[in-house]
A = this chain, B = another copy of it.
Amino acid sequence: MNNVRFATSLHILTLLALNEGVYLSSDFIAGSVNVNAAAIRKEISNLKLCMLVESKEGKGGGSILARPASQIKLSDVYDAVKQVHVLGRSNTPNPDCPVGKEVNRHLEALYEDTDDYVRQKLTTVTLKDFVQKFG
């Protein structure tokens, strides 16, 4: 998870939450996040798949939250961008070694427990909670 996807998605959602009901363009969002608008549109495309935002095409179009910020949890953002385990990846150890043969089974179990733990933690914070920190 050595990327900026969580940061980008949360930034997008924060902007939308602070402008609830207003359609924000990818150009506007890109200006705040300071990345290319196409990258924003790609991330928004994913957030749409996850039912977190809705978009309107054409002139005057843009994106809004799919539901109130109080009903979006940070675990939803985590789920939206999750690609790998928070503790990293496994090796491809030697199956002819007694340890190598079963280490990945135990390691993956630990990885998944840890992911679940993080996810659980993030269910306790809503987007509204996060946005309220902004002055």
Contact = CB atoms under 8 A, between A and B. Distances in A.
B32 A93 contact: yes
Interface string A1-34: 1111111101100110010000000000001111
B107 A118 contact: no
Contacts of A133: 106
Contacts of A35: 91
Given A14-B103, A93-B11, A117-B121, A1 B4 contact: no
A106 B134 contact: yes
Q: How many copies does the complex hold?
A: 2
Interface of A: 1-8, 10-11, 14-15, 18, 31-35, 74, 78, 81, 84, 86-94, 97-100, 102-103, 106-107, 110, 114, 117-118, 121-122, 125, 130, 133-135
27 contacts: A1-B1, A1-B86, A1-B88, A2-B88, A2-B89, A3-B88, A4-B89, A6-B88, A7-B88, A7-B89, A7-B107, A10-B103, A11-B91, A11-B99, A15-B99, A18-B99, A31-B97, A33-B94, A33-B100, A86-B86, A87-B118, A102-B135, A110-B125, A114-B122, A117-B117, A117-B121, A118-B118
